[in-house]
Amino acid sequence: MLRHAIDDLAAELSYRKLGLYAALIVALAAAEGVFRYQMRMVLIGISREVEYELRNDLFAHLCRLGPDWYQRHRIGDVMSRATNDMSAVRMVLGPGIMYTANTLATFAGTLAFMATISPRLLALALFPLLLVSVLVRHYGRKIHDLYERAQEQLASINVLVQENLTGARVVRAYVQEAHESERFEAANREYRERNRALVRTYGALYPGIQLLMGAGTVLVLYVGGRMVIAGSITLGEFVAFGAYLAMLHWPMIALGWVVNLFERGEASLGRIHEILDEPETFADAGRAPAPELRGEVHFRGLDFGYEPGRPVLHGIDLHVAPGSLVAIVGPTGSGKSTLVNLIPRLHEAPPGTLFVDGVEVRDWPLRALRDAIGFVPQESFLFSDTLLANVAFSPRPGTAERAREAAAVARLDKDVIDFPLGYETRLGERGLTLSGGQKQRAALARALAADPRILVLDDALSAVDTQTEEEILQGLRARRGRASGTTFLVSHRVSTVRDADLIVVLDEGRIVERGRHDELLLRGGPYARLARRQQLEAEVEAATA
Amino acid sequence: MSAAPDDDVVTTRYDWRLLLRLLRYLRPYRLAMLVSFLLIVLMAALDLVGPLLTKRAIDEHIAKGDAAGLLGVAALYALTLVCAFAVRFGQVYVLQMTGQEVMLDLRRELFAHLQRLHVAHFDRNPVGRLMTRVTTDVDAVNELFTSGIVTVFGDLFTLFGIMGVLLWLDWRLALVTFAVLPPFFLVTNWFRKGARDAFREVRQKVAAMNANLQENLAGMSVVQLFGREAKNLGGFAAINREHADVNMRALFYYAVFYPAIDLLAAIGIALILLYGGGRVLGDALTLGALVAFVQYSERFWRPISDLSEKFNVLQAAMASAERIFTLLDTKPQVVAPPAPRALDEPRGRVAFEGVTFGYDPAHPVLRDVSFTVEPGRSVALVGATGAGKTSVISLLARFYDVQQGRVTFDGVDVRELDPAELRRSLALVLQDVHLASGTIASNIRLGSPISDERVRSAAEAVHAHRFIAELPGGYDAEVKERGSTLSVGQKQLLSFARALAHDPKVLILDEATSSVDTETEQLIQDALRTLLRGRTAIVIAHRLSTIQHVDEILVMHKGRIRERGSHRELLAQRGLYWRLYQLQYKDQELAPVPAAPPAPAPAG
């Protein structure tokens, strides 16, 4: 358009024609604007939708992976895949495709016009521009790597500061402020060094692009100018050629950039697929919904180990009648936790060794099995939500109605009175921080609110003071009287296990003794020895008193 | 309901005092800044030359068929390009390198300040947020320097330069070209505000989504046990949806902005063609000048849209600067006196004299507490949670200052001592053992000049050597993720080794409550005896066996010392201690009895 206008200008023309050209330029820009708006909204919109779906899929899949998998993977790494890698993939689907289309369209249009003006000039002018693409691609990758290196160092600085702040008391007490500052200074300097390397590379990139583009312009100016003088092209063609060349600047930069996008996106997609391709840890037996569970648990000659060759449990034979209270005691590392973890299939027992109500655990529909079990883990994990939402956590019907009663049994109620908003108090990062004992009691209430047939307390009252623990055990007894549920109690404390229907003593993965408190005392085995030691200690105490 | 201050505050106005304070950090680098500034002016000037040369080539050489002259212009153009390259690179280089130095200084100052701050500050403020000050906020301030202040001047120069050249070429046509500016500013302003708000929302959604995911991953086994997968996926999907929607809203501004700018630019060119073309026809303007006008008008928009984009960057940087300065302005509450008294030969006599103290002065946790520990003697503090035991430790290590009475070390008020000197005479063993990344040895030694032999002999004396020797690498074994691979008991023994290696006059011990297996418990008790030997010790005791090693027991209740005396005396009193003792006995784990009756209390 510009070309005709200028040619006409050189060859005299009317004002009317000039107006027409001007109107055409604006109309074309408007049309192109509408098109570009549409393209951006549609293409990027699609990429956002795909990202949304993919991220949900990833989350859903993460829900299907068991504790084994989580032990092998760090949360930070999984997070990075769900965020950084996800956005790298989206960049390909959105901007990647959009700029590719854009570049191709611009190329197709401009190159054709430029070729009609002069193929020779085109070849000449295009050369430096191609170099721009190569430059962006090559340095783009290098800059990305250097940037990652700098970010890694920033992450180390983060860790350093975090450790320093969480350990502030130790740092003060051992007068380590100067030493810490030295460590920080070293990390800080390393970060500067890595950034300097980054600046050296990227500082040259943009000026380099400008230089190459300018070179194209100079070539056109000189060679094209000579062609105008020689009469092989018109002045209008010459000016138009320059304008077309300017239109190619951005697509050329985009070209190099897009190649890097695709490369990064592919690697990221691979990392995401590593998770998605991970087989579900517990394939569901998928049988018809089970009848109401009674709560009978039977271990039959069970051997179990997390890794082959390193067994944790040996030949466990244990039958637990519905409604009974079984206590499991033994030193740290004797396999107590592992044993109870097998019941809700947090880890998978070998075939034919673990039965609930006479049916092998792996043949139960997973949901039905877990719904029937209230599990209180060693480390109580609560969500940053209200206290009530944490207690009424189970989606089973009636949970919300039972929440307060459950909190009462767990003796959480006496603390709630002091909370600013009672049960509506928010926990976590921006809310209230509970003490260890409060957390454990909340976790117990959460399990009770689900009204389970089988209750498992995995050393879950260790941070609760003795008096409160006694109250809780009384509450549980009363509840058992009403609901006749089965209870597994893993504990260190004699006061906790004394009233159990059955006490099982584990040592190095074997059941070394079983019976009621009184029987075991009479038998004079390990349990009796433990109890006697305590007794003896009391007598020693009494003597020194 | 969150009472915490929002991290995402954006200052809505430019606070000049803030800016001036920031500029102070540039002082040491004023020469570099000046160079960078001159280079940017030079760069703006060089960028103006191109279209002028094109104009000259068309008007004076191409139109007149002067091929030789054309070569001269092309050569000059090429030279300008090379100069522009050098200047541009030099400018970016000098500016960015200076930015790195400023960040280094700012981070150093922040970290040093954090070392002086009151420990309670870290209890009140989430550590994550304080970390952001040192990392993200400093980076944001760097943006202010590098793509901010200096570059803004560069853009302004380019802008006014182009306007000047256009006016000089043909002032009538220039004014016609400027007619597009008002709508341009309107569009830009609309975009700037819209995009800023949209992006703030995007950031919030990203943070919320990450927090949700992180929490679900950390608590996945609970999610699975309670069958919450579907429900939690629903919660996540809702945030994910919001995240996508908010991003589309942000995209909308971009999708409208770029075409709108292009359209305005096209209108500008149309105006130049319409009016300028007419003037060319009337021979009032050369054809080359018209082409130069078109080329300039294309360069005209870039600095303007750059400026509007930078406005957002600057605003974010100002908010970061404000947060950084707020932290720097937080006064350390415990400071060394101007002329501290020196402890020539610390003996380790500790005394509390009528001490009253509360974290909140209106609610004292210690009331009129007095006791003395002679050098080499030990006391145990017992009492229920909230009795004020931990506060005693905090006051002695001078993490806090008393409100009434005084705490003395070797007869000198701790407030008259240099806190560092005081603390060098103490060793603190806390319930939660703090382990930093590094090796086992570096965690025992910390930063103190302690020889390998002493590290080792300390570890041996407290029975830590055995498990350390079994670690791959022994004393050089890496401590991973704050010692998550070590058991609670092992961490305890490590912290004992740390205390012993520092050989303090006074040992302050807050015994861990968590249960350990019987064998480790025995090791710990034995290590404790080693640790207490010949030292003044203040122990917050949770274990009966520990209490028997000490010379005096203080029974605390609601901030007061209610009973004091030896284990025997206190039991005979049948008071508070006796009741606590009964409770503890019941609480006793399945712990073995020490092989021999506990060592008799030293006469005293």
What is the SS3 assignment for B186-214? HHHHHHHHHHHHHHHHHHHHHHHHHHHHH
Question: Where a domain ends, among A218, A246, A276?
Answer: A276
Look at residue B237 in the predicted model and tell me its pLDDT. 92
Chain B 110-149, CB below 8 Å of chain A: which residues?
A: 111-112, 114-116, 119, 122, 126-128, 130-131, 134-135
> How many other C-beta atoms can be found within 10 angstroms of the C-beta atom of residue B560?
15
Does the CA dihedral A257-A263-A266-A271 come out positive or negative?
negative
Look at residue A442 in the predicted model and tell me its pLDDT. 92
Instruction: Check which CATH number belongs to the domain holding A306 and give it.
Output: 3.40.50.300
Low-confidence ranges of chain B (pLDDT < 70): 1-14, 123-124, 126, 312, 384-387, 481-485, 512-519, 543-546, 582-604
Look at residue B585 in the predicted model and tell me its pLDDT. 55
| Same-domain status, A269 and A338 | no
| Same-domain status, A67 and A117 | yes
User: Does residue A94 sit within a domain?
Assistant: yes
Nearest to A239 by CA among A20, A501, A9, A451: A9
In angstroms, what separates the C-alpha of B315 from chain A's closest C-alpha? Answer: 23
Which amino acid is it at B253? Answer: Y
Angle between helices A119-166 and A97-117 (to 10 degrees): 160
Instruction: Check which CATH number belongs to the domain holding A267 and give it.
Output: 1.20.1560.10
Contacts of residue B431, Cβ cutoff 8 Å, sequence gap at least 6: B510, B511, B512, B513
The second-level CATH assignment, the architecture, of B350-587 is: 3-Layer(aba) Sandwich (3.40)
Look at residue B584 in the predicted model and tell me its pLDDT. 58
User: Does residue A423 sit within a domain?
Assistant: yes
Q: What CATH number does domain B16-328 carry, 3.40.50.2300, 1.20.1560.10, 3.30.450.30, 1.20.58.1610?
A: 1.20.1560.10
Residues of A in contact with B589 (CB under 8 A): 492-494
| CB-neighbour burial class of residue B66 (10 A; exposed 0-12, middle 13-18, buried 19+) | middle
Q: What is the pTM of this model?
A: 0.73
Q: Which long-range contacts (CB under 8 A, 24 or more apart) does A537-541 make?
A: A537/B544, A537/B588, A537/B591, A537/B593, A538/B585, A538/B588, A540/B593, A540/B597, A540/B598, A541/B544, A541/B581, A541/B585
Residues of B in contact with A220 (CB under 8 A): none
Chain B 334-373, CB below 8 Å of chain A: which residues?
A: none
Domain locations in chain B as residue ranges: 16-328, 350-587
Contacts of residue B72, Cβ cutoff 8 Å, sequence gap at least 6: none
| Contact across the interface for A176 and B447, Cβ inside 8 Å | yes
Per DSSP, the three-state class of A184 is helix
| Contact across the interface for A185 and B108, Cβ inside 8 Å | yes
Which among B434, B586, B591 has CB closest to A167? B434
Chain B 484-543, CB below 8 Å of chain A: which residues?
A: 487, 498, 502, 508, 513-520
| Same-domain status, A260 and A329 | no
Distance CA B270, CA A99 (A): 27
Nearest to A117 by CA among A238, A267, A286: A238
Low-confidence ranges of chain A (pLDDT < 70): 1-15, 283-291, 332, 429-432, 481-484, 533-545
Distance CA B292, CA B166 (A): 9
In angstroms, what separates the C-alpha of B218 from chain A's closest C-alpha? Answer: 7
User: Does residue A285 sit within a domain?
Assistant: no
Residues of A in contact with B213 (CB under 8 A): 59, 79, 82-83
Structure tokens at A474: 């009384």
Distance CA A421, CA A417 (A): 9
Does B573 reach chain A within 8 Å, measured CB to CB?
no
User: Does residue A223 sit within a domain?
Assistant: yes
Structure tokens at B168: 């000089």
User: Does residue A109 sit within a domain?
Assistant: yes
Domain tally for chain A?
Answer: 2
Pairing relationship of beta strands A359-360 and A510-515 according to DSSP bridges: unpaired
| Same-domain status, A450 and A529 | yes
Does B595 reach chain A within 8 Å, measured CB to CB?
no
Which among B66, B74, B589 has CB closest to A222? B74
Residues of B in contact with A121 (CB under 8 A): none
CA dihedral A84, A90, A94, A100 (to 10 degrees): 80
Nearest to A185 by CA among B14, B111, B186, B284: B111
Residues of A in contact with B73 (CB under 8 A): 221
Distance CA B30, CA B38 (A): 12
> How many other C-beta atoms can be found within 10 angstroms of the C-beta atom of residue A136?
24
| Same-domain status, A311 and A230 | no
Nearest to B223 by CA among A385, A356, A79, A426: A385
| Same-domain status, A199 and A346 | no
List the beta bridge partners of residue A456: A375, A488
Does A174 reach chain B within 8 Å, measured CB to CB?
yes
List the beta bridge partners of residue B539: B380, B509
Taking only the tens place, the pLDDT of each residue in B172-218 is 888 888 888 888 888 888 888 888 888 888 888 888 888 888 888 88
Distance CA A169, CA B434 (A): 9
Tell me the backbone φ, ψ of residue B10, rounded to 5 degrees: -125, 125
Look at residue A534 in the predicted model and tell me its pLDDT. 60
| Contact across the interface for A383 and B215, Cβ inside 8 Å | yes
Nearest to B300 by CA among B401, B167, B415: B167
Look at residue B482 in the predicted model and tell me its pLDDT. 66
Does B69 reach chain A within 8 Å, measured CB to CB?
no
Pairing relationship of beta strands B560-565 and B552-557 according to DSSP bridges: antiparallel
Nearest to B325 by CA among B116, B124, B150, B113: B113
Residues of B in contact with A186 (CB under 8 A): none
Contacts of residue A9, Cβ cutoff 8 Å, sequence gap at least 6: A18, A236, B277, B280, B281, B287, B290
User: Does residue A60 sit within a domain?
Assistant: yes
Look at residue A199 in the predicted model and tell me its pLDDT. 86
Distance CA A84, CA B206 (A): 11
Nearest to A172 by CA among B336, B181, B319, B149: B336
| CB-neighbour burial class of residue B596 (10 A; exposed 0-12, middle 13-18, buried 19+) | exposed
Contact A392, A400 (CB under 8 A): yes
B556 sits in which H/E element: strand B552-557
Q: For the sheet containing A310-320, what is the strand order? A: A310-320, A297-307, A354-356, A359-360
B98 sits in which H/E element: helix B67-116
Range of the domain at A379: 297-544
List the beta bridge partners of residue B407: B352
Enter the DSSP assignment of B58: I
